[in-house]
Amino acid sequence: MRWVLACIGATVFLSACLPASARPKSEHAARRASAAVDVIPAPAMVESRDGVFAIRAGTRISIPRDPRAAGSARYFAELLQQTRGTRLEIVERSGATAPEHSIVFRFDPQAVGSSPEGYAIEVSSRQIVVSAADARGLLYGAVTLWQLCTSEAAHSDLIDVRAVKISDSPRFGWRGLMLDSARHYQSPEFIMRFIDWMALHKLNVLHWHLTDDQGWRLEIKKYPRLTEVGAWRVPAGAAAAADIDPGTGRPRLYGGFYSQDTVRGIVAHAAERNVTIVPEIDMPGHASAALVAYPELGVTEHPPAAVPADWGVYSNLYNVEEGTFNFLQDVLDEVMALFPGKYLHVGGDEAVKDQWKTSPGVQARMRQLGLADEQALQGYFIGRIEKYLEAHGRRLIGWDEILEGGIAQDATVMSWRGIDGAVTAAGAGHDAVLSPWPTLYFDNRQGTGPTEPPGRGRVVALQEVYGFEPMPAGIAANQRQHILGLQANVWTEHIRTEERVGYMTFPRAAAVAEVGWTAPERRDWDSFVRRLPHEFARYRGLGLSYSADVFQPAADPRQLGAFERRPSQELKTCTDKLVLSLEDDAPIGGKRAIFLIDIMNPCWIFQSADLSQASALQVAVGQVPFNFQIGKDREAIKLAAPHTPAGELEVRLDNCEGQPIAVLPLAPAVANAAVTTLPAVRIPRTRGRHDLCFRFTQRTLDPLWALDWVQLVE
Ligand code: ACM
């Protein structure tokens, strides 16, 4: 989502691959733990055997004369070198026999079941054999073998792999992540690494969100203004407006785009990692950036003049003229030439119909087409695009709004507003991918700590993701084949940096991987958690940023000392309407504060404050741009009227009604776009523990005052 209100919406787990020094003391201990290996996602079948295979400096990787095998072997060798410092030589074999004591990669049509992603591994003291019928399976065999060779305890480059037999294949064919490169842009190098990290989790679909209101990121040769103009915006807020680019004398622009050459490189890299990229070109809404570049595609006489920096749902839609369909088809021609996968995503989401409803031109066209209403017009729009894609041998996929107004004949549905979209789609004979808010929306925070990066306020912890079951319970047995799999979405409105993309994605993506790959009867949260430290060690070896929140003890703010500073994350928002963990817009360079705030009601409760010894209060405040397109919901925001021009922060005892016990004038903070610590104010002597309510008075929403922290003073 982008924008719905919160209301809608040791028994030591022994590694199969241990450094010699950390081997279990007894065979018995090893056997006891042996049914499991530190592999994520958990393989379908694991049988422990006797003995170990010792990987040493001279150990070779033997591959057949087949470039597809070379890629997997090279990847395994690179990973091992990067994370264990072990360098292994790859040698091609001419016949069937591999050198003694080698790691053998081979193709075998009988290796495992019918899935091209399946593989088998047999480790004995003599040899390791990785076999698969297809290059995809061989790659995943390589990944699993690397995991067998990497554990948290592993520091030495002597690697003993415990004898084991693994036979593995996935539950679902669509195991995806969506990355939003429109709201915030990530470098091509980062996209390549993201693909690598996906492959290490056996995730195989990267849904790449390339266009939206706030940016068009894909070079289209026929329409250069899409990226010359549409890829650049002035970020929201006073700090960005004051950040003047000396080259232009105007506010510095934020943005970037992917050239077609760059995309070809990314697509080729993805293919090597068994990742199919599904590009998304959003229509008929989320189109502001395109309309700024080519205003004639829009509905109104006054299309947006600059690429906007507000988050949320804009009313800007494409018009339904023939010229606009020609434009979209031209764009899709170039997209199809770049991305060879079967699916193209055309969005379809959150297209509010206000502009279509009030446009005489659109209404006339609607009548001409004999369409009853604007929903039917959207159905026509998507249906037309679907026919175009079908005629070029491709499949259309869209968010579940494409079900409204009549779904196009062969469209696939991505169910995001819960799971009903998938149930309806499957019931009507359409394929579906499960990607529901909030569980699979990785812009939601993972934890509640003050160091958690910005995101949506709702917490979607790792265990919630792990507990998600993609097969809807009510679905008929004969419709189950329509459920292709699942996908988590990394929307980046609040994820400004690449490091934070990593943090918000991992290890939740590891949970998605296990849900998508491993049979439900083998899914086990306790086992997953025991395997995680090893996964985290791998992440560190690869330089991947990730959240370790699952291992943080849950903090209870009421247990804090009476005089400890409480950041907004440790306060309670008075309501839970649209809670965000928002990053300050200032300073432009350097560390910015993060405020937990309900933007529909900026009001906080300091729960159970021990006021017995407190004589004063100190508070730090910031200001954030109100850059949210929330339509009519904006009218529901009630601000308390200020008593002074700059407004005040009012503090009340026990609840948010009644007379304030303290009033902090905001005048000292008005000129500072970043955080200001206000002068301490005295509070009346009060016995015992009480809730304190903090609420700003202000006349206008933009900028919005935000509480950074509160401290009682003795
Ligand atoms: C969506 O989150 N608008 C698909």
- 214 contacts 181 by C-beta, under 8 angstroms: no
Question: What is the predicted pLDDT for the residue at 482?
Answer: 98
Picking from 517, 542, 577, the residue at the C-terminal end of a domain is: 517
* Ligand 1 atom nearest residue 399's Cα: 4
Alpha carbon nearest to ligand 1 atom 2, residue: 1
- The phi and psi torsions of 338 (rounded to 5 degrees) equal -90, -40
The answer to whether residue 87 is domain-embedded is yes
Are residue 261 and residue 283 in the same domain, yes or no? yes
When pLDDT is averaged across residues 349-368 and rounded to a whole number, the result is 97
Q: State which of 8, 183, 213, 416 you would mutate to test the pocket of ligand 1, scoring each by most atoms of that ligand within 8 A of its C-beta.
A: 416
Q: What is the CATH number of the domain that holds 254?
A: 3.20.20.80
* Ligand 1 atom nearest residue 437's Cα: 2
Spacing of C-alpha 272 from chain mean position:
22
Helix 498-505 and helix 188-200, axial crossing angle in degrees, nearest 10: 20
Rounded distance from Cα 72 to ligand 1 centre (Å)? 35
Strands 616-624, 681-682: parallel, antiparallel or unpaired by DSSP? antiparallel
The answer to whether residue 159 is domain-embedded is yes
Are residue 160 and residue 204 in the same domain, yes or no? no
Q: Is 619 helix (H, G, I), strand (E, B) or coil?
A: strand
How many C-beta atoms lie closer than 10 Å to residue 496's C-beta?
Answer: 18
Are residue 470 and residue 563 in the same domain, yes or no? no
Q: Residue 555 pLDDT more than 80?
A: no
pLDDT in tens, 400-436: 999 998 888 899 999 999 999 999 999 999 999 999 9
- 439 contacts 489 by C-beta, under 8 angstroms: no
Tokens (6 digits) for 266:
């990314």
Rounded distance from Cα 2 to ligand 1 centre (Å)? 5
* Ligand 1 atom nearest residue 350's Cα: 3
Q: If residue 377 lies in a helix (H) or strand (E), which one and from where to where?
A: helix 374-391
**Better-predicted residue by pLDDT, 113 or 199:** 199
* Ligand 1 atom nearest residue 414's Cα: 4
Q: Is 57 helix (H, G, I), strand (E, B) or coil?
A: coil
pLDDT in tens, 38-93: 999 999 999 999 999 999 878 999 999 998 899 999 999 999 999 988 899 999 99
Q: What is the dihedral of CA 582, 510, 547, 214, to 10 degrees?
A: -20
Are residue 426 and residue 486 in the same domain, yes or no? yes
Are residue 235 and residue 384 in the same domain, yes or no? yes
- The phi and psi torsions of 377 (rounded to 5 degrees) equal -65, -40
- SS3 annotation, 165-177: EEEECCCCCEEEE
The answer to whether residue 543 is domain-embedded is no
Picking from 138, 168, 198, the residue at the C-terminal end of a domain is: 168
For ligand 1, whether the C-beta of 397 sits within 6 Å is no
Q: Residue 97 pLDDT more than 50?
A: yes
Are residue 273 and residue 199 in the same domain, yes or no? yes
Residue type at position 344: L
pLDDT in tens, 261-320: 999 999 999 999 999 999 999 999 999 999 999 999 999 998 999 999 999 999 999 999
Cα gap 280→416, rounded to integer Å: 15
For ligand 1, whether the C-beta of 349 sits within 6 Å is yes
For ligand 1, whether the C-beta of 380 sits within 6 Å is no
Q: What is the CATH number of the domain that holds 605?
A: 2.60.120.260
The answer to whether residue 283 is domain-embedded is yes
When pLDDT is averaged across residues 206-232 and rounded to a whole number, the result is 98
- 215 contacts 182 by C-beta, under 8 angstroms: yes
Q: Confidence class of residue 538 from pLDDT cuts 50, 70 and 90? A: very high
Are residue 431 and residue 412 in the same domain, yes or no? yes
Q: What is the CATH number of the domain that holds 99?
A: 3.30.379.10
Are residue 495 and residue 622 in the same domain, yes or no? no
* Count of alpha carbons within 13 angstroms of residue 301, beta-carbon side: 3
Alpha carbon nearest to ligand 1 atom 1, residue: 1
Q: How many domains does the chain have?
A: 3
Rounded distance from Cα 254 to ligand 1 centre (Å)? 23
For ligand 1, whether the C-beta of 76 sits within 6 Å is no
- 521 contacts 515 by C-beta, under 8 angstroms: no
Residue type at position 82: Q
Question: What is the predicted pLDDT for the residue at 156?
Answer: 65
Q: What is the dihedral of CA 155, 161, 167, 168, to 10 degrees?
A: 10
How many C-beta atoms lie closer than 10 Å to residue 272's C-beta?
Answer: 17
Q: Is 141 helix (H, G, I), strand (E, B) or coil?
A: helix
CA angle 380, 384, 387 (to 5 degrees): 135
Q: Confidence class of residue 155 from pLDDT cuts 50, 70 and 90? A: low
- Residue count of the chain, please give it: 714
Are residue 364 and residue 456 in the same domain, yes or no? yes
Q: Residue 556 pLDDT more than 90?
A: no
Rounded distance from Cα 15 to ligand 1 centre (Å)? 40
Burial of residue 140 (number of CB atoms within 10 Å: 0-12, 13-18, 19+): buried
When pLDDT is averaged across residues 194-214 and rounded to a whole number, the result is 98
Question: What is the predicted pLDDT for the residue at 563?
Answer: 82
pLDDT in tens, 326-355: 999 999 999 999 999 999 999 999 999 999
Are residue 122 and residue 48 in the same domain, yes or no? yes
Look over the chain and give the mean of its residue pLDDT values, rounded to a whole number: 92
Q: Residue 612 pLDDT more than 70?
A: yes
Q: If residue 505 lies in a helix (H) or strand (E), which one and from where to where?
A: helix 498-505
Cα gap 144→480, rounded to integer Å: 28
For ligand 1, whether the C-beta of 630 sits within 6 Å is no
Q: What is the dihedral of CA 79, 84, 86, 87, to 10 degrees?
A: 30
Q: What is the DSSP letter of 125?
A: S
* Count of alpha carbons within 13 angstroms of residue 39, beta-carbon side: 31
Q: Residue 24 pLDDT more than 70?
A: no
Question: What is the predicted pLDDT for the residue at 19?
Answer: 34
pLDDT in tens, 521-535: 999 999 999 999 999
Query: Which residues are catalytic, by number?
Result: 212, 286, 350
For ligand 1, whether the C-beta of 442 sits within 6 Å is no
- SS3 annotation, 82-101: HHHCCCCEEEECCCCCCCCC
Are residue 193 and residue 95 in the same domain, yes or no? no
Question: What is the predicted pLDDT for the residue at 495?
Answer: 98
pLDDT in tens, 660-698: 999 999 999 999 999 999 999 999 999 999 999 999 999
Rounded distance from Cα 405 to ligand 1 centre (Å)? 18
Complete edge-to-edge strand list for the sheet that includes strand 594-598: 444-445, 455-459, 579-583, 594-598
Alpha carbon nearest to ligand 1 atom 3, residue: 1
The answer to whether residue 141 is domain-embedded is yes
* Ligand 1 atom nearest residue 489's Cα: 2
Question: What is the predicted pLDDT for the residue at 67?
Answer: 87
Burial of residue 222 (number of CB atoms within 10 Å: 0-12, 13-18, 19+): exposed
Strand partners, 399: 414
Strand partners, 250: 245
For ligand 1, whether the C-beta of 441 sits within 6 Å is no
For ligand 1, whether the C-beta of 350 sits within 6 Å is yes
For ligand 1, whether the C-beta of 280 sits within 6 Å is no
For ligand 1, whether the C-beta of 1 sits within 6 Å is yes
Q: Confidence class of residue 257 from pLDDT cuts 50, 70 and 90? A: very high
Picking from 492, 517, 542, the residue at the C-terminal end of a domain is: 517
Burial of residue 145 (number of CB atoms within 10 Å: 0-12, 13-18, 19+): buried
The answer to whether residue 680 is domain-embedded is yes
Rounded distance from Cα 630 to ligand 1 centre (Å)? 14
Question: What is the predicted pLDDT for the residue at 300?
Answer: 96
When pLDDT is averaged across residues 137-161 and rounded to a whole number, the result is 85
The answer to whether residue 544 is domain-embedded is no
When pLDDT is averaged across residues 617-638 and rounded to a whole number, the result is 96
Burial of residue 149 (number of CB atoms within 10 Å: 0-12, 13-18, 19+): buried
When pLDDT is averaged across residues 99-114 and rounded to a whole number, the result is 90
Are residue 89 and residue 190 in the same domain, yes or no? no
Helix 374-391 and helix 322-338, axial crossing angle in degrees, nearest 10: 40
The answer to whether residue 332 is domain-embedded is yes
CA angle 270, 276, 277 (to 5 degrees): 85
By residue range, what is the domain housing residue 505? 174-517
Q: Residue 123 pLDDT more than 80?
A: yes
For ligand 1, whether the C-beta of 2 sits within 6 Å is yes
